[in-house]
C-alpha cells in the first residue's frame, strides 16, 4: 500500500462550456482591452472608450444598463466602474471616470492605446424592458449621470417603446456638467432635459438650486395618470436619491418602480471579499441597482 | 459510513505512512503562556511525537493553509502599453490535516458554501480545499467553547476520517475511499458491541461538559429588530478595532486586493490580503465617505454578517462557536456576551 495523496488539478476539472458564473477559471479571467479614445469631460472626469481586443470575446461581452465592470491596470489597481455607453455595442464600452485616488489618477495620465484588463459585467441592471410602454423619469445628480447615460442610450435606441421621457440632472456648478455635447441629440430624440446647478456662474442661464426644485416644477405639470404609469431611475449620492425617492413616493409612484444604484467599496465584484456588503446584502451581486423598496429594507443603506 | 477501531500505537504507523509522502499539518505546542499553559498552533509536522493530540484549541485557526493571510492572485509581465497576466492558485501538492476538531471541520464546510457553492466559485480556495485530506479528532469542551449552541460540535461531513479517543484505542468513522485505502497500511478492527456502546457513552459525556451556551432561537430576526440597540454602542466603546477577532476566526474570509509594481516596471502582481470588517477603512469609498465610520457599526456588522446574513443565505450561522475570537480579544468581547446582551438577557 502507499500513502501518497494524488494532487487534484482543478483546472483539469473545468467545464467544457464557458460559464462565467460557475467556471473556476472565470474568477480571475480578464478581458484584455484597449483604451481607444480619451475625452476630457471636465477638470475631474474623463470618458474612456475601451474595446476588448479579441473580437470573439468582444461579442460575448454583453451587458445591461446599470451594470459595472472591474477595470484593472496591472500593478496600479483594479476598481469598479459603471458602464456608461449603449448596451447595443458589445465589447466596446465607455467609462466615465472621476479622479479619486491611485488608479483613477493614473488613468487620467495614460495615453490612448494603453491596454487595460476588464472583468465583468457584474451586478444587476435597470430593468429597461419592464419599463416599456411607460413614462420614464431619469434623474441624476453629479457623477450619477455616468450609469444613467447607458439607460438613456437604451431609451434612444428604443424610443418608440417608451411614452414620455424626462431627464432631470443637477450638479454643483456649470463646470461640472457631463456630456454637454449630447444634450441636443437627447432633446432631438424627444427626451425632455432639465438641468439645474447649485452654484451658477455669471454665464449660467438655467435654473439654480437643488434637483428637487426642478422636480416640483415638473410635477406641477403632470396629472395623476402620469404618475400611475411612470418608472424612475435615480442615480446620485445617497442624500440626493433619498430626497428624490421620497418626493416620488409622495406622488404615489410605488417604491418598486423606482431604481437606484448604490456605491460601495468593491474588491472582487463576485460576492467574495464582503467589502460591498450593506447590512448583509452583497451590493455586487444583488445590486448595485436596487429598487427603492429593497433599499428601504436594507439596514445601513442610506 | 464504515466504522473501525484503531489501537493507539497503530496511529503512529498511519502518521509515518502519510508523512513519508505528503505534507502533514497538525496541532503542535508553539510555546507557553505566562501561566505556563501550552499555546497550540497548527504547523507542518514530520515527527509524530510533536503532534499534540490532546490539544485544547489552537490560538489561531488553520486557515492560513486554505485562506492564506496574503497570497498573490496573479502576476503580470508588463511590456510598454501591453501586458501579460499569469494566474497561480498557489498550491502544488496536497496537505494532510492530522487532528482537526469538529468546529474547524465545520468551519470549512461553511466556507465551502460561500466560496465553492455559490456563484463565482473561488479557485484559490477550491484548489487548496480539494487537496486536503482531513483526519478529525474529538475534543474536550473548554470554558469558552459554545460550538454545541451553534450546531458545530459534531462534524457530519467535510473530513476523510474522524477519530474519537476511547482510552487505549480510537473509534474511527471513515468517510472517504482514500481514508479506507490508507487504513490498509495499518491494523484496524471492526468495532465490537462493547466498543460501540463505549463510543456512545463518551459522546454523551462530552455533551454534558459544555459550560457556555448561546441562545440562537430566532437570532436572525432579533438582530434585525435590535439593529439600533444601545448595547452596540457599549460594545463599540470597548472594541479597539484591532481586527484580531477576524484574524483568529476559522470562518472569517473577507479580504482586500492590492496591486504593486516591481521597481523595474516590468513585473507587477495582484495580491489578496485577508481583512477585517472591524478595521476602519473596510467600507470607505472614493471621495472619503465611510459607510461604517464608528467602531460600533463595524463590530455590529461582524455579528450581522455571521449570525444574520449568512443565515439568510444558507440557513446556518457563519460562526462555529470555537471561542477563539473571545479568547484573543484584548477588550474581552466574546460572542456569548454580545449575543446575550442583544437579547436583553441579564449577564
Ligand atoms: C458599482 C460602482 C460603480 C462605480 N462607477 C463609477 C463610475 O462610473 N465612475 C467613477 O468615476 N467612479 C465609479 N465608482 C467609484 C470608483 O470605483 C472609485 O472611484 C475607485 O474605486 C477609486 O479607485 P482609486 O484607485 O482611484 O482610489 P484609491 O486610491 O484606491 O482610493 C481612493 C478612495 O477610494 C476608496 N476605494 C478604494 N478602492 C475602492 C473600491 N474598489 N470601490 C470603491 N471605493 C474604493 C478608498 O476608500 C479611498 O477612500 C463606482 C463604484 C462602484 C462600487
Ligand atoms: S472585538 Fe476585540 S478582537 Fe475584535 S476588533 Fe474589537 S477589540 Fe479587536
Ligand atoms: S466568530 Fe469567534 S467563536 Fe465564532 S467561529 Fe469565529 S472565532 Fe470562533
Ligand atoms: S465586491 Fe467583493 S463581495 Fe461584493
Contacts of A27 in chain B (CB under 8 A): 120-124
pLDDT for residue A13: 57
For ligand 1, atom 27, which residue shows the shortest CA distance? Answer: A101
Q: Do B254 and A273 touch (CB under 8 A)?
A: yes
Q: Is B117 exposed, middle or buried (0-12, 13-18, 19+ CB in 10 A)?
A: exposed
- pLDDT recorded at residue B250: 96
Of B20, B83, B283, the CB nearest to A3: B20
Give me the pLDDT at residue B147, please: 94
Report the C-alpha gap between A267 and B285 in whole angstroms: 11
Closest CA to B183 of B1, B315, B54, B11: B11
* Neighbouring residues of B137: CB distance < 8 A, sequence distance ≥ 6: B53, B99, B100, B101, B162, B163, B164, B165
Contacts of A263 in chain B (CB under 8 A): 285
List pLDDT tens digits, range A176-196: 999 999 999 999 999 999 999
Rounded distance between C-alpha atoms, residue B200 and residue B6, angstroms:
17
Distance from the Cα of A24 to chain B's closest Cα (Å) equals: 5
Which one of B22, B256, B301 has the shortest CB-CB distance to A5?
Answer: B22
Cβ neighbours around A131 below 10 Å, total: 24
Q: State whether B17 and A1 contact (CB < 8 Å).
A: yes
Identify the pLDDT of residue A16.
Answer: 47
Whole-number percent of chain A with pLDDT over 70: 96
Distance from CA of B88 to the nearest CA of A (A): 10
| Closest in A24, A75, A281 to B261, CB measured | A75
Q: How confident is the model at residue A279 (pLDDT cuts 50, 70, 90)?
A: confident
Question: Is residue B73 within 8 angstroms of chain A, CB to CB?
Answer: yes
Residue B307's nearest CA partner among B242, B230, B241, B214 is B214
Asked if the model's pLDDT at residue A21 lies above 80, the reply is no
What DSSP string describes B270-301?
EEEEE--TTSTTTTB-TTS-BTT-SHHHHHHH
The count of C-alpha atoms lying within 13 angstroms of the C-alpha of A218, restricted to the half-sphere facing its C-beta, is 27
Mean pLDDT value across residues B102-112: 96
Say if residue B198's pLDDT is above 60: yes
pLDDT at A22 over 80: no
Tell me what percent of the residues of chain B surpass a pLDDT of 90: 79
**CB of A70 within 8 A of CB of A118?**
yes
What ligand is nearest to the CA atom of residue B320?
3
Gap from CA of B101 to ligand 3 centroid (Å) = 14
Residue with the smallest CA separation from ligand 3 atom 7 is: B249
> Residue range A11-17: average pLDDT?
56
Query: Which pLDDT does position A104 carry in this prediction?
Result: 95
Cβ-based neighbour number of residue A75 at 10 Å: 19
| Mean pLDDT (chain A, rounded) | 91
Domain boundaries, chain B: 2-67+93-208, 219-251+277-342
% of residues, chain B, pLDDT over 70: 99
Average pLDDT over residues B261-265: 88
Q: What is the DSSP letter of A127?
A: -
Residues 264-323 of B with CB under 8 A from A: 265, 268-270, 275, 277, 282-287, 291-292, 297, 301, 304-305, 308-310, 312-313
* pLDDT at A12 (0 to 100): 66
Instruction: Give the pLDDT score at B6.
Output: 95
pLDDT of residue A19: 63
Range in A37-46, B141-150, B178-187, B290-299 with the lowest mean pLDDT: B290-299
Q: Is the CB of B320 under 6 A from ligand 3?
A: yes
Contact A6 B17 (CB under 8 A): no
Nearest to residue B258, comparing CAs of A131, A77, A197? A77
B82 closest CB neighbour out of A25, A100, A115: A115
The lowest-confidence range among A96-100, A240-244, B324-328 is A240-244
Which residues in B lie closer than 8 A to residue A75 (C-beta atoms)? 76, 78, 259-262, 265, 268-269
Per-residue pLDDT, B80: 83
**Model confidence over B205-253: pLDDT tens digits?**
998 998 999 999 999 989 888 888 899 999 999 999 999 999 999 999 9
Cβ(B237) – ligand 2 distance below 6 Å: no
Residue with cell 436594507: A298
Assign domain A13-122 to its CATH architecture. Beta Barrel (2.40)
State the average pLDDT over residues B47-55.
94
**Banded model confidence at residue B285, pLDDT cuts 50, 70, 90:** confident
Owner of C-alpha cell 500505537: B9
- In angstroms, the CA B334 to CA B323 distance is 7
Start-to-end C-alpha separation, chain A: 62
CB of residue A271 inside a 6 A radius of ligand 4: yes
pLDDT at A237 > cutoff 50: yes
- Verify whether the Cβ–Cβ distance B308 to A280 is below 8 Å: yes
- Nearest atom in ligand 2 to the alpha carbon of residue B279 is 5
Give how far A194 is from chain B: nearest CA, Å. 26
CATH of the domain spanning A135-261, picked from 3.30.43.10, 3.40.50.80, 1.10.287.130, 3.30.590.10: 3.40.50.80
Please state the rounded mean pLDDT for residues A238-242. 87
Note whether A1 contacts B123, CB cutoff 8 Å. Answer: no
What's the CA-to-centroid distance between B255 and ligand 4, angstroms?
Answer: 9
Q: Please tell me if the CB atom of residue B249 comes closer than 6 angstroms to any atom of ligand 3.
A: yes
pLDDT in tens, A290-299: 999 999 888 7
B224/A contact by beta carbon, under 8 A: yes
The closest of A68, A103, A119 to B258, measured between CA atoms, is A103
Considering every ligand atom, which ligand is closest to the CA of A143?
1
- At residue B243, the pLDDT reads 92
Locate the ligand 4 atom nearest the alpha carbon of residue A285 and give its number. Answer: 4
**What residue spans define the domains of chain A?**
13-122, 135-261
The overall average pLDDT reported for chain B is 92
* Inter-chain CB proximity B282 and A265 less than 8 Å: yes
pLDDT-derived band of residue A301, with 50, 70 and 90 as boundaries?
A: low
> Grid coordinates standing for A105?
489618477
Amino acid at each position: 500500500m502507499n500513502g501518497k495523496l494524488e494532487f487534484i488539478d482543478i483546472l483539469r476539472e473545468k467545464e467544457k462550456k464557458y460559464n462565467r458564473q460557475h467556471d473556476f477559471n472565470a474568477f480571475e479571467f480578464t478581458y484584455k482591452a484597449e483604451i481607444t479614445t480619451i475625452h476630457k469631460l471636465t477638470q475631474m472626469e474623463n470618458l474612456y472608450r475601451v474595446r476588448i481586443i479579441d473580437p470573439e470575446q468582444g461579442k460575448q461581452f454583453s451587458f445591461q444598463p446599470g451594470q459595472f465592470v472591474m477595470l484593472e491596470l496591472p500593478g496600479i489597481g483594479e476598481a469598479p466602474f459603471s458602464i456608461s455607453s449603449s448596451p447595443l455595442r458589445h465589447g466596446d464600452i465607455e467609462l466615465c471616470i472621476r479622479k479619486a485616488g491611485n488608479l483613477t489618477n493614473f488613468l487620467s495620465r495614460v495615453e490612448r492605446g494603453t491596454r487595460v484588463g476588464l472583468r465583468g459585467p457584474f451586478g444587476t441592471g435597470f430593468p429597461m424592458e419592464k419599463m416599456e410602454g411607460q413614462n420614464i423619469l431619469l434623474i441624476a445628480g453629479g457623477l450619477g449621470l455616468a450609469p444613467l447615460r447607458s439607460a438613456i442610450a437604451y431609451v434612444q435606441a428604443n424610443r418608440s417603446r417608451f411614452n414620455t421621457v424626462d431627464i432631470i440632472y443637477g450638479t454643483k456648478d456649470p463646470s461640472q456638467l457631463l456630456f454637454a455635447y449630447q444634450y441636443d441629440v437627447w432633446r432631438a430624440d424627444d427626451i425632455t432635459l432639465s438641468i439645474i446647478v447649485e452654484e451658477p456662474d455669471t454665464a449660467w442661464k438655467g435654473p439654480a438650486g437643488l434637483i428637487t426644485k426642478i422636480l416640483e416644477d415638473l410635477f406641477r405639470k403632470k396629472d395623476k395618470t402620469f404618475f400611475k404609469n411612470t418608472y424612475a431611475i435615480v442615480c446620485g449620492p445617497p442624500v440626493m436619491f433619498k430626497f428624490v425617492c421620497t418626493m416620488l413616493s409622495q406622488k404615489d409612484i410605488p417604491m418598486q418602480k423606482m431604481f437606484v444604484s448604490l456605491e460601495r467599496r468593491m474588491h472582487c465584484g463576485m460576492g467574495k471579499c464582503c467589502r460591498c456588503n450593506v447590512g448583509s446584502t452583497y451590493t455586487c451581486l444583488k445590486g448595485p441597482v436596487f429598487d427603492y423598496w429593497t433599499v428601504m429594507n436594507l439596514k445601513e443603506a442610506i | 459510513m464504515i466504522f473501525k477501531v484503531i489501537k493507539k500505537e497503530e496511529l503512529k504507523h498511519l502518521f509515518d505512512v502519510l508523512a513519508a509522502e505528503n505534507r502533514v499539518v497538525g496541532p503542535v505546542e508553539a510555546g507557553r503562556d505566562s501561566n505556563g499553559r501550552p499555546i497550540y498552533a497548527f504547523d507542518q509536522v514530520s515527527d509524530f511525537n510533536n503532534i499534540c493530540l490532546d490539544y485544547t484549541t489552537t490560538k489561531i485557526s488553520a486557515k492560513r493553509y486554505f485562506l492564506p493571510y496574503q497570497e498573490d492572485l496573479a502576476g503580470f509581465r508588463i511590456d510598454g502599453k501591453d501586458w501579460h497576466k499569469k494566474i497561480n492558485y498557489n498550491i502544488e501538492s496536497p496537505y494532510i490535516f492530522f487532528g482537526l476538531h469538529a468546529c474547524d471541520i465545520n468551519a470549512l464546510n461553511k466556507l465551502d458554501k460561500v466560496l465553492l457553492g455559490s456563484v463565482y466559485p473561488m479557485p484559490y480556495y477550491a484548489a487548496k480545499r480539494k487537496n486536503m485530506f482531513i483526519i478529525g479528532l474529538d475534543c474536550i469542551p473548554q470554558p469558552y467553547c459554545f460550538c454545541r449552541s451553534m450546531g458545530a460540535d459534531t462534524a457530519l461531513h467535510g473530513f476523510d476520517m474522524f477519530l474519537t479517543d476511547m482510552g487505549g484505542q480510537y473509534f474511527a468513522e471513515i468517510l472517504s475511499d482514500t481514508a479506507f485505502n490508507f487504513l490498509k497500511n495499518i491494523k484496524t478492527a471492526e468495532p465490537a458491541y462493547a466498543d460501540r456502546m463505549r463510543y456512545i457513552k463518551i459522546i454523551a459525556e462530552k455533551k454534558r461538559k459544555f459550560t457556555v451556551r448561546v441562545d440562537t432561537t430566532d437570532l436572525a430576526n432579533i438582530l434585525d429588530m435590535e439593529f439600533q440597540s444601545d448595547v452596540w454602542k457599549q460594545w463599540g466603546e470597548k472594541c479597539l478595532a484591532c481586527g484580531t477577532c477576524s484574524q483568529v476566526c476559522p470562518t472569517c474570509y473577507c479580504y482586500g486586493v492590492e496591486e504593486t509594481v516591481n521597481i523595474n516596471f516590468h513585473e507587477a502582481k495582484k495580491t489578496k490580503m485577508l481583512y477585517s470588517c472591524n478595521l476602519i477603512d473596510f467600507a470607505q469609498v472614493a471621495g472619503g465617505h465611510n459607510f461604517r465610520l464608528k467602531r460600533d457599526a463595524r463590530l455590529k456588522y461582524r455579528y450581522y454578517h455571521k449570525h444574520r446574513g449568512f443565515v439568510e443565505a444558507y440557513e446556518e450561522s457563519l460562526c462555529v462557536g470555537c471561542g477563539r475570537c473571545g479568547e484573543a480579544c484584548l477588550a474581552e468581547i466574546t460572542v456569548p456576551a454580545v449575543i446575550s446582551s442583544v437579547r436583553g438577557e441579564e449577564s
